[in-house]
């Protein structure tokens, strides 16, 4: 339910610790009442919220045989895109958006985990992602996607050339393969929940914690600006 005179945002969450993180602050500042929907537990239905955010998780966008709720998420994203309503996808969420828009989602040539900058394209430099120029962001993914038709390519890395794209007349759809939302404090839950994955690729918990201490403050400020700028355009009716 909306606050009086306010707006509503629904965030689909796939694991409890991969939440909105620092992005909750700019959303609340702009008058959004936030509600989480836990995939695999809560029903995934279109409740006419003003904004849909699909968060990350350790499963894949093509894993609907094992996780049937993925079909519900894909249908929800498809309906909202068709209606011209704002959708933000982060990591798994970005892969689902790419799939809905007809692009292929598949394993990247290597897992990309850790803090590193993205290279903004020319379009990215003039987009809501401009505040991320020269700021390391958190990467934590093994899959990637092709760029959907008619999408604006915004950012890249060497491992994943398609790190971010926008789609729609007012960029109502924003897909981010990387994680702008994770704070240093929030990362502690990731280090516990994904400790096995870190060990499997030879990345130490201590090195991730140290990197978060160096980069998370600047990333929080940049992510705040990204969300504010994107919402200003995306909420145009």
Domain boundaries of the chain, sorted by first residue: 7-234
Q: In what order do the strands lie in the sheet with 51-54?
A: 32-38, 7-13, 51-54, 87-90, 173-176, 164-167, 152-156, 119-120
Residue 5's pLDDT is 53
Residue 105's pLDDT is 98
Residue 4's pLDDT is 46
* CA–centroid distance for 84 within its chain: 19
Taking the model in full, what pTM does it have?
0.95
Is 181 noted as a catalytic residue in this protein? yes
Q: With beta carbons less than 8 A apart as the criterion, state whether 136 and 117 touch.
A: yes
Query: Which residue is catalytic, options 179, 194, 215, 220?
Result: 179
CA distances from 168 to 16, 42, 87, 124 (A): 30, 29, 10, 15
Rg (C-alpha) for the chain, rounded Å, is 16
Residue 230's pLDDT is 97
Residue 234's pLDDT is 87
Is 160 noted as a catalytic residue in this protein? no
Is 179 noted as a catalytic residue in this protein? yes
Query: Which residue is catalytic, options 73, 112, 181, 220?
Result: 181
Residue 47's pLDDT is 85
CA distance 99 to 102: 5
Query: Which residue is catalytic, options 91, 128, 160, 162?
Result: 91
- 10-residue block means of pLDDT along the chain (237 residues)? 70 97 96 97 92 97 98 97 96 98 96 97 98 95 97 97 96 97 97 97 97 97 97 78
Q: Does domain 7-234 have CATH number 2.120.10.70?
A: no
Q: Are strands 137-145 and 119-120 parallel, antiparallel or unpaired?
A: unpaired
Burial grade of 8 (CB within 10 A; 0-12, 13-18, 19 or more): middle
């Amino acid at each position: 339910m909306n606050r009086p005179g306010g707006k509503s945002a629904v965030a689909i969450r796939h694991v409890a610790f991969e939440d909105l993180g620092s992005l909750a602050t700019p959303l609340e500042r702009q008058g959004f009442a936030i509600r989480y929907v836990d995939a695999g537990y809560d029903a995934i239905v279109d409740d006419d919220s003003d904004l849909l955010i699909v968060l990350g998780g350790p499963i894949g966008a093509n894993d609907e045989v094992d996780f049937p709720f993925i079909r519900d998420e894909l249908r929800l994203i498809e309906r909202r895109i068709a209606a011209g309503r704002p959708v933000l996808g982060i990591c798994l969420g970005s892969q689902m958006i790419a799939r809905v828009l007809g692009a292929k989602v598949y394993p990247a040539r290597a897992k990309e985990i850790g803090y590193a900058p993205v290279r903004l394209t020319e379009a990215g430099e003039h987009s809501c992602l401009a505040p991320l120029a020269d700021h390391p962001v958190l990467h934590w993914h093994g899959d990637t996607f092709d760029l959907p038709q008619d999408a604006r390519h915004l950012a890249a890395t060497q491992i994943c050339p398609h790190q971010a794209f926008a789609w729609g007349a007012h960029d109502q759809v924003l897909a981010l393969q990387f994680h702008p939302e994770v704070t240093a404090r929030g990362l502690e839950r990731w280090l516990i929940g994904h400790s096995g994955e870190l060990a499997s690729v030879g990345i130490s918990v201590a090195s991730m914690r140290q990197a978060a201490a160096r980069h998370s403050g600047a990333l929080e400020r940049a992510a705040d600006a990204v969300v504010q700028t994107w919402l200003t355009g995306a909420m145009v009716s």
